[in-house]
Amino acid sequence: MSNLKSQLTVSQQRTISSQLHGVKLNLLYKASVHGFTSAAFHQRCDNRSPTLSVGYNASGYVFGGYTRQPFSQSGTYVSDDQAFLFTFRGEKLHKYPVMNATYAVKMVGNSGPYFGETLILLHGSQPVVYSKPGSYYNFQAAEMHGNDLNLTECEVYQIEQTTELERPWRNIIWESKKRNELMESIKSYKPLVSSVSQARVLLIGPVGAGKSSFFNSINSVFRGHVTSQAMSGSSATSLTTQFRTYSLKAGREGKPLPIILCDTMGLEEGKGAGLDIDDISSILNGHLLDRYQFNPSAPLQSEVHGYRKNPGLKDKIHCVAYVLDACKISIMPAKLEEKLDAIRRKVNSMGIPQLVLLTKVDEACPLVGEDVTKVYHSGYIKELVQEVSARLGVPLSCVVPVKNYSEELELDLNCDILLLSAVIQMFRFVDNYFDELSDQLSRTETKD
């Protein structure tokens, strides 16, 4: 951001950044500072791209348009199939994609940002909006700007792409030898307590973040091909309706691996929807059997079928992994963040280690989308990890970026290494859990 002060809220800036895949906003033009004239707009914004133009009115509406094409005063239309108009409803962005890309933007000298004869900011060098929904972009005027066509402010931002750091902020070896070493480390792992043969890791996260996909992806690595045992996909509500415990095998006929991934319903904003926070303690204490059917409208009871009344240490959760979509961190709803915070505090009180799996890093950052090995060279991913750390109250070292298998048909070495590294981190946290139990036992024996 430049030295000019943006009128967009921090949340709105994050929403735009997320929508445009991890970009930064550089404020080029601010009408209240530089003048509500087309000349001032063109002087500061011509030949700069991509740009986001934002209008504000006294009715409280925030609206505008995005284009990849640089502004000029040529008098011609320019084509842009990625252009869109938008309006904010509170902190949420509503988009209106271009309908006729050939006429996406017009380069007019006596005007501000000019989107296809449909929306013009600073019309005729006056602080007013020209608005005529039609065949180029379509929207409801009352929804877009409340029919208030007088501007109190107009801002134009240049969109700056994610920076590639010269040195990685975490070191990782991207070689097949490393993948094989990680796989062998996982196969040979043994929990520190002899009565426990498999570490139990609970996956918690919002609907669609990739909990089930993470299990499918780890399973794929050890099967040698992409699999889809756990139900996954995109849906507004949780596809997981049961408590599931997934064991992994080293190959189709191989031995079970020393880890069980436990999947739950996805977290949702509303009350009576998604995973019930009151159920968390029962899950952490190992009371739920595999395939317990959740009832979001009522906490579970000890008398119901599928409730284990006397769980042992092997049945309890030894580590919690929060699964969060990197594309949605910056626009996480406040109520969802409150739920996560309540869960985190409950898990903390029980002494269970916690880490965060940051999924879909390839979708969040174009640099990583082109090359997964750039994940620790991405300045944007580093900023996301820092934001997760701050918002969830976990150390930076507890946030691990991963890329699940989703559309791929074949395995990828670099995806495998990220996934396997995440499992190794889980084992380290499980060791911490058993170390703490051992210390507690020693202190008790000393008192006795």
Residue 184: give its domain's CATH number.
Answer: 3.40.50.300
Tokens of 158: 């240049």
Q: How far apart are CA 113 and CA 136, in angstroms?
A: 15
228 versus 301: the higher-pLDDT residue is 228
Work out how many domains the chain is built from and give that number.
2
How long a stretch of residues is the chain?
448
Give me the pLDDT at residue 238, please.
Answer: 47
The reply to whether 220 and 333 lie within a common domain is yes
Mean per-residue pLDDT for 185-199? 94
Could you tell me if 223 and 251 are in contact, meaning their C-beta atoms sit under 8 angstroms apart? yes
166 in a structural domain: no
The reply to whether 185 and 117 lie within a common domain is no
Mean per-residue pLDDT for 326-332? 81
168 in a structural domain: no
Residue 264: pLDDT band by 50, 70, 90 thresholds? confident
Give the end of a domain, one of 98, 133, 160.
160
Give me the pLDDT at residue 10, please.
Answer: 81
pTM score, whole prediction = 0.74
Give me the pLDDT at residue 273, please.
Answer: 58
- Contacts for 165 with CB less than 8 Å, ≥ 6 apart: 377, 378, 379, 382
The reply to whether 55 and 193 lie within a common domain is no
The reply to whether 280 and 325 lie within a common domain is yes
Mean per-residue pLDDT for 20-38? 89
The reply to whether 227 and 138 lie within a common domain is no
The reply to whether 127 and 214 lie within a common domain is no
338 versus 372: the higher-pLDDT residue is 372
The reply to whether 20 and 146 lie within a common domain is yes
CA angle 152, 158, 164 (to 5 degrees): 145
Residue 26 forms beta bridges with which residues?
A: 158
Give me the pLDDT at residue 235, please.
Answer: 46
Residues 204-215 pLDDT 10s: 998 889 998 999
125 in a structural domain: yes
Range of the domain at 81: 10-160
> Taking 50 as the threshold, does the pLDDT of residue 368 lie above it?
yes
Query: Which three-class secondary structure state does DSSP give residue 77?
Result: strand
302 in a structural domain: yes
Q: What is the mean pLDDT of the chain?
A: 88
5 in a structural domain: no
DSSP string, 230-259: S-----SS-S--EEEEEEEESSTT-PEEEE
Judge residue 369's burial from the number of C-beta atoms within 10 Å of its C-beta, 0-12 exposed, 13-18 middle, 19 or more buried. middle
Give me the pLDDT at residue 376, please.
Answer: 96
347 in a structural domain: yes
Tokens of 238: 């949780």
Mean per-residue pLDDT for 73-84? 94
> Taking 80 as the threshold, does the pLDDT of residue 232 lie above it?
no
Residues 282-326 pLDDT 10s: 899 998 887 777 665 556 666 666 678 889 999 999 999 999 999
> Taking 50 as the threshold, does the pLDDT of residue 178 lie above it?
yes
The reply to whether 149 and 114 lie within a common domain is yes
Give me the pLDDT at residue 319, please.
Answer: 97
The reply to whether 112 and 182 lie within a common domain is no
Residue 333: pLDDT band by 50, 70, 90 thresholds? confident
Phi and psi at residue 396, to the nearest 5°: -55, -35
Residue 260 forms beta bridges with which residues?
A: 200, 247
CA angle 101, 105, 110 (to 5 degrees): 160
Give me the pLDDT at residue 364, please.
Answer: 84
Nearest to 331 by CA among 10, 50, 83: 10
Residue 129: pLDDT band by 50, 70, 90 thresholds? confident
The reply to whether 429 and 321 lie within a common domain is yes
The reply to whether 202 and 154 lie within a common domain is no
Give me the pLDDT at residue 444, please.
Answer: 62
Give the end of a domain, one of 160, 187, 215.
160
The reply to whether 79 and 206 lie within a common domain is no
- Contacts for 353 with CB less than 8 Å, ≥ 6 apart: 318, 319, 320, 429, 430, 432, 433
Judge residue 216's burial from the number of C-beta atoms within 10 Å of its C-beta, 0-12 exposed, 13-18 middle, 19 or more buried. buried
Mean per-residue pLDDT for 364-390? 90
Nearest to 145 by CA among 65, 262, 206, 31: 65
2 in a structural domain: no
169 in a structural domain: no
Give the end of a domain, one of 160, 191, 210.
160
Give me the pLDDT at residue 252, please.
Answer: 77
Q: How far apart are CA 155 and CA 12, in angstroms?
A: 14
